[in-house]
Structure 1
Amino acid sequence: MKEDYFTGEFIVDMREMYFRLKKWEKVKPFRKAAVLAIDLQAYFLRAESRAFLPSAPRFVPRLVEFYREAERLGVPIIFTRHFHRDDIMTLWWGGDMPKDNPLNELLEEFKPFTGTVIEKKTYNAFHGTNLEGLLRGLGVETVIVTGVMTHLCCETTAREAFVRGFNVIFPVDGTLTQNRLFHEATLRNLSHGFAVTPLLSEVLEWLSSE
């Protein structure tokens, strides 16, 4: 089920298949944006973990560079950190993600950007957290969803953001999951009814434009 799929060819293919220019033009005027950085924990991004995503070595440097530029442009970056114990997530996945496990810490490469971290216990970063209040307080109109995993926490959070009235940007190369099929399924669904799906580089061009 797991594969190293996050290649330049894959990213180009996904952009060509699922980017909708008309939707992008509708979102562009809503310039008060924030980046959501979902669950960028060692649990998913370090090879010693059982949940390691094989494309992580390709993905992490790309996202670090995006965050560096977003921060330079003054765009807020809000991180989430996931953990759960003895709940429906435990039942489904056959194990806990304890808060005190070092693998559940945010990856070192991302810590320079972690001014704001929200802790969550399910796929939806809005559920049981103050994320919406934080975004409203910042005057945010548009959220840019990045992180892991594409088809679980990232997709669920993107859908919920749309339902709550935020414009959603879901960069085709801004999230990562276990394989191409899961990643593409999310892009197919979100691009139809919930989010616009440009490249990270196109998002930066938009954020830096007058």
Structure 2
Amino acid sequence: MKQALIIIDVQEAFFNLPENYLYQKEDLVLRINQWIAAARSAEVPVIFIQHTDYDNINDEFYVDSPDWQLYHGLDIRAEDVVSRKTTWDSFHETELAVVLEGKSIDQLIFAGAQTEFCLDTTIRAAYSRGYKSNILAKNSHSTLANAVLTAPQIIEHHEHIWNGRFVTIRELDEHIF
């Protein structure tokens, strides 16, 4: 299978603004960079998704604002694709589908934020678009607590729903690439 590693919305807003701190944010970046290194070693393309707001200048994801930038601690290189999106779905009105088709990709490996929003929506959209053998990078996605659930509860809940249906959850040491 021809693979691509998709990193969703790991942006400065989740590291600069205390109210937006991702659960275990430092470990998250370390694990994502490990996945990126493994993908690069196997010559698997790395695609970064960047949530973008073009309308509300006060939004933390407003285009070109400091908090909108992809997180500075990620191993991003010039050859990587960066796709901007304006909704929770990384495919909706973006070039992602065209990029994947152009590279003949048939398996997606997901990591990023937020578990129950953009990651969930994109994982399900990918499955609906015919990507049926996708992988979720274990311990490489995160979110924030909400009024009902803690971040670990949200992560566990979504992994339980996704695994074996929309993705297979795998550890990096399982020779994914």
TM-score bucket (shorter structure):
0.7 to 0.9
Tell whether 2:66 aligns with 1:102. Answer: yes
Match of residue 122 from structure 1: 87
> Residue 66 of structure 1 aligns to a residue in which SS?
helix
Stretches of 4+ aligned residues off by more than 2 angstroms = 47-50, 84-87, 94-97, 111-114
Q: Which residue matches 2:98?
A: 133
SS of residue in 1 equivalent to 2:125: helix
| Among 129, 132, 138, the residue aligned to 1:172 | 138
Unpaired segments of 5 or more residues in structure 2?
A: 145-150
Query: How big is the shift at 1:49?
Result: 4.5
TM-score by length of 1: 0.74
Aligned residues: percent identity? 26
Return the offset for 1:33: 0.6
**Retained in 2: the 8 A contact 1:77–1:113?**
no
**When the two structures are superposed, what TM-score results if normalisation uses the length of structure 2?**
0.87
By how many angstroms is 1:146 displaced? 0.7
* Match status 1:78 vs 2:47: yes
Determine if contact 1:147/1:176 at 8 Å carries over to the other structure. yes
Match in the other structure for 2:170:
198
Q: Which is further off, 108-117 or 62-71?
A: 108-117
Q: Secondary structure at the match of 1:172?
A: strand
- In structure 1, what residue type is equivalent to 2:36? Y
Structure 1 position 104, deviation (Å): 0.9
- Pick the structure with greater CA Rg: 1
Distance 2:6 2:161 in 1: 19
CA distance in 1, matches of 2:75, 2:69: 10
Structure with the higher fraction of residues in helix conformation:
1
Amino acid in the other structure paired with 1:62: R
**Residue of 161, 164, 169 corresponding to 2:126:** 161
After superposition, the CA RMSD in angstroms is 2.1
Q: Mark the runs of 5 or more structure 1 residues left unpaired by the alignment.
A: 1-30, 88-93
Higher strand content, 1 or 2 = 2
Match of 2:36 in 1: 67
SS in 1 for 2:20: coil
Q: How far apart in 1 are the matches of 2:18 and 2:77?
A: 23
Q: Which moved more, 1:178-187 or 1:167-176?
A: 167-176
Task: Say whether the 8 Å CA contact 1:151–1:185 is kept in structure 2.
Answer: no
Instruction: In structure 1, give the amino acid aligned to 2:134.
Output: V
Per-residue deviation, 1:201? 2.5
